[in-house]
Amino acid sequence: MKKIKLYGFNNLTKTLSFNIYDVCYAKTEVEKEEYIKYIDEQYNSNRLTKILYDVTEIIGACVLNVSKQDYEPQGASVNILISEEMIEEHLIDESCNLGKSIEKDSLMGHLDKSHLTVHTYPESHPEHSISTFRVDIDVSTCGTISPLKALNYLISSFDSDIITLDYRVRGFTRELDSKKCFIDHKINSIQNYINKDKLLEYNSIDVNIFQSNIFHTKMMKRNLELEDYIFNKKVKDINKDKQKIILNKLEREMLEIFNGSNIY
């Protein structure tokens, strides 16, 4: 593809917002507590930090600063500041830890011009037999590096029943003749950047505003295998009628999340 010749620095901001939902059938209080505990251990701040480090490497950026925190009773957050290129050590602010303090209970990370953040939200209700786990990830970059390069890795890093994706290119840079450039790559759907085999596992829809360089994709698992959604139980121990009731509850929960509205 022919490269656009720019005047000065490419200051286009490209932001990918990535939300995943994991859904689980957990009827008793003990099952709910065990599910939340499992999720909290599975996606603690150390593992989330490792995922964001991998994203940084995939998009070709460098870590400047990292902060992370686990919460009581559950949940975790990580924030990483990155740079498009290596920065000479004497130019780096002394408050930046370059990720070296990653073993501390809490820490924070930054990139120059760019950042990555992740937050987790485990959720259950005493009168509801479906528990959910949500992960919100934002990857924001400036310059030539693109967060879309890490999209397939992010999807594969989590158990994703519902996925919502937002991608936006903001600002402008200039070509040599001073003409404004509002986007420096071709895109008509986020789905173009998702592995085709993975796409086959989901029902997907797009809502795009091309003139504003805003792209939105929602995805929901096509086929539900009950074994994958029952926490600490076996399908064979549940009678057929009960299995249908549980599947209906799971499908309703997923449809409500996918559509962003309650179903009555």
Q: Catalytic site residue 45? A: no
Of 114, 124, 157, 204, which one is the catalytic site residue?
114
Q: 73: cis peptide before it, omega within 30°?
A: yes
| Number of residues that this document lists for the chain | 264
In order of 31, 64, 94, 115, 126, the CA distances from 107 in angstroms are: 32, 12, 14, 14, 34
- β-pair partners for 68: 78
Q: Catalytic site residue 119? A: yes
Cα 198 off chain centre by: 16
The DSSP call for residue 238 is S
Give the angle subtended at the CA of 144 by the CAs of 141 and 145, to the nearest 5°.
Answer: 50
Of 77, 115, 119, 140, which one is the catalytic site residue?
119
Q: Cα(200)–Cα(202) distance, rounded to whole angstroms? A: 5
Of 67, 110, 142, 157, which one is the catalytic site residue?
142
Q: Catalytic site residue 114? A: yes
C-alpha dihedral sign at 220, 23, 155, 222: negative
CB atoms within 10 A of CB 100: 12
Q: Cα(119)–Cα(131) distance, rounded to whole angstroms? A: 17
Instruction: List, in order, residues 6 or more apart from 190 with CB less than 8 Å away.
Output: 148, 151, 165, 167, 206, 215, 216, 217
Catalytic residues: 114, 119, 142
